[in-house]
Structure 1
Amino acid sequence: MSDIRRVHGDERLGTAFTLYPYAFDATPSPGTDAELRALLPYHRDNHTLIAERDGRTVATASAFPAQQNLRGNVLPMAGIGWVATHPDARRQGHGSRLMHRLHAELLDSNHRLATLYPFHPAFYERFGYVGLPLNRTATFPPAALAPLLAVELPGQVTQQGIADGFATYRAFQHHLLTNRHGATYTADYRAARALDPADRWLATAVVDGTVVGVLPYRIDGYGGTLRADELLYTTALGRALLLRFLAAHTHQVSTVVITVPPDEYPEAWATGLTVRTEAETAFPTSPPLMARLLSMEALRGARCGPGQVEIEVVDDRLLAGRYRLDGTGGTLHLDTAAGTAKTATLTAAGLAGLAYGVLDPGEVVTRGLGEIPDDAAEELRTLLPRLTPHVFGKG
């Protein structure tokens, strides 16, 4: 049996970091101590656990602090990652023990939600996680947006290096956090991990002094591809300004590749736009994000529809129990329950699917994530209607 403990700072180098290169990089590699040490700032406030046996680290799991919007509530969220086990210690329960311990400690430190990118989704479903929709990539020639160049639009787009625009970019992300279901916001030390290379431009759309859209991007060469990160905007005008900015690159690049949320429709951006919009799921290389509730308190005060229902959450160490959900007044009230005719039995993954708006009650049942009588299903459909989470946010 291994011992589990938390590690901090430089102690990660001789423990958790000994597993990262083999698990997540091409190996064997000439990675140096200096290269690994350079990664420490991006793990500064991570909650890192290791499993040790005979003084050797055999498994690890970590999480970084973040925030996420769940149906209008901005809550402390933990981004779980770096779950790795040494090959000679796999299938011995180390990963499961680490996940249970990590969940408990994250809850103790007030985290209400957790997300992760799974290497093995069925494994994480057993720990209460449900898959969220993938963001899409839209690929098109910038000339297809040329009609926008002839349109007079109020406002302007400015361009600067991502390092110079970091504060603007982060402020806009934080604004989206408070207004968009599923939006995430990581700590600065994590966001800097993606931005420190300074290999991107930042296009910023401004109308009457207010930022209405941002777009980080880079160009891989003359006649090549403009590769944009997440298209972030608050208004249709903000999106139009950024798309018109992309159209201005018609004679510089041949292709634009841009990341958009699952419910964005690039084919409607311009008349006759030739575009390929796609998302590919593959494990472990391009998995959809998975998410779960660490506490039932994550639902308290969430925006909801009318309805009342009692649920029983089963097979979960953190959430097991009976609860009454009441949508009177448009925000969710939560109490313990004694039982009524409208009772749904849910796994933690089934509850997460309803809370994040990605599963209908009928889908919860057909996927084996719960048992929901018809009358309870109707209440849950109005109480927790389908929503598309916009899980954007570098870092």
Structure 2
Amino acid sequence: AKAVEWRDKNDSWVAMVREDGEVTGAMTFEITGYTETLKADTFYYTTTAARYQLLAWIGRHVDQVSEAVIELGPEEYPELWYRDLLAQSSTVYKDAWPAPMGRVVSVTGIDGIAAGADAAISVTLVDDQCPWNNGVWTFSGEGGALQVREGGDPVCHLTVQGLSALVWSGIDPATFPFRGWGDPDSAAQATLRALFPKAFPVLNEKF
């Protein structure tokens, strides 16, 4: 739907970087007006060289725009790209990416995803919307993969929100008591951190 909207408006452009014949960077952007803003809605690259090529392309518009706004994922640190970049990061800009959302619909469905360590923990899971997830589950890491089985000797309670946050981002479980997502003690928190290391979700579309 967004692609159709862009096509009909006909005011967006695509800049691409190729290295050895392979596309390694791409950016969609529009210029709101002379001396106004260059807005990059997407900014993707697979190599560092491609990132700087895209930034150089933006820099070539210094005589046309007064600022550039680039929508970036949470894994980016633009303040480290250039010493004198003077980048300002914000999550309240009107076009900023909102916080990503992900939900575990089926606990058995996450069996086999990547796990951070060979560790194990049993928890009592609470899910008000999907009752098939309620109960005691044991999560263990074996050879870099998560193993999920029913039963065990639970050491804490987790809500499905807490489990989803662990799966999608590796959030620090020390925040769970403050968010109402569970009651893991320090030992349980350490095990959960080992099983679900911090990770950044990959965002591609807003809807």
| TM-score, normalised relative to structure 1 | 0.48
Q: Residues 80-115 of structure 1: CA distance to partner in whole angstroms, max 9, x if unpaired?
A: xxxxxxxxxxxxxxxxxxxxxxxxxxxxxxxxxxxx
Aligned partner of 1:246 in structure 2 is: 58
Paired residues in the alignment total: 202
Displacement after TM superposition at 1:278 (Å): 1.1
Give SS of 2:52's match.
helix
In the alignment, the residues of structure 2 paired with residue 212 and residue 381 of structure 1 have an alpha-carbon distance, to the nearest angstrom, of 33
Displacement after TM superposition at 1:290 (Å): 2.8
Select which of 262, 266, 290 maps to 2:101. Answer: 290
The code of the aligned residue for 1:343 comes to V
Establish whether residue 301 from structure 1 lines up as the match of residue 115 from structure 2. Answer: no
CA RMSD of aligned residues (A): 2.3
CA contact (8 A) 2:114 2:144 kept: yes
In the alignment, the residues of structure 2 paired with residue 275 and residue 310 of structure 1 have an alpha-carbon distance, to the nearest angstrom, of 44
1:192–1:358 Cα change, 3 Å: same
In the alignment, the residues of structure 2 paired with residue 286 and residue 305 of structure 1 have an alpha-carbon distance, to the nearest angstrom, of 27
Q: Residues 235-286 of structure 1: CA distance to partner in whole angstroms, max 9, x if unpaired?
A: 211111111111111212221111111231222222211222211289xx98
Aligned partner of 2:22 in structure 1 is: 210
Establish whether residue 333 from structure 1 lines up as the match of residue 144 from structure 2. Answer: no
In the alignment, the residues of structure 1 paired with residue 55 and residue 199 of structure 2 have an alpha-carbon distance, to the nearest angstrom, of 26
Give SS of 1:267's match.
helix
Aligned partner of 2:171 in structure 1 is: 359
1:288–1:300 Cα change, 3 Å: same
1:213–1:220 Cα change, 3 Å: same
CA contact (8 A) 1:364 1:370 kept: yes
Give % identity.
33
In the alignment, the residues of structure 1 paired with residue 27 and residue 171 of structure 2 have an alpha-carbon distance, to the nearest angstrom, of 30
In the alignment, the residues of structure 1 paired with residue 206 and residue 99 of structure 2 have an alpha-carbon distance, to the nearest angstrom, of 15
In the alignment, the residues of structure 2 paired with residue 310 and residue 281 of structure 1 have an alpha-carbon distance, to the nearest angstrom, of 41
CA contact (8 A) 1:281 1:287 kept: no
Q: Residues 265-310 of structure 1: CA distance to partner in whole angstroms, max 9, x if unpaired?
A: 222222211222211289xx98534321111134222111111111
The code of the aligned residue for 2:42 comes to E
| TM-score, normalised relative to structure 2 | 0.87
Q: Residues 335-385 of structure 1: CA distance to partner in whole angstroms, max 9, x if unpaired?
A: 111x22x52311111111111125211111222211213322211110001
Displacement after TM superposition at 1:199 (Å): 2.4
Aligned partner of 1:344 in structure 2 is: 156
Larger Rg: 1
Q: Residues 157-186 of structure 1: CA distance to partner in whole angstroms, max 9, x if unpaired?
A: xxxxxxxxxxxxxxxxxxxxxxxxxxxxxx
The code of the aligned residue for 1:329 comes to G
1:351–1:384 Cα change, 3 Å: same
CA contact (8 A) 2:116 2:196 kept: yes
Select which of 269, 292, 295 maps to 2:81. Answer: 269
Q: Which runs of 5+ in 2 are unaligned?
A: none
Instruction: Pick 1 or 2: higher relative contact order, CA cutoff 8 A, min separation 6.
Output: 1
In the alignment, the residues of structure 2 paired with residue 331 and residue 267 of structure 1 have an alpha-carbon distance, to the nearest angstrom, of 34
1:281–1:359 Cα change, 3 Å: farther
The code of the aligned residue for 1:326 comes to S
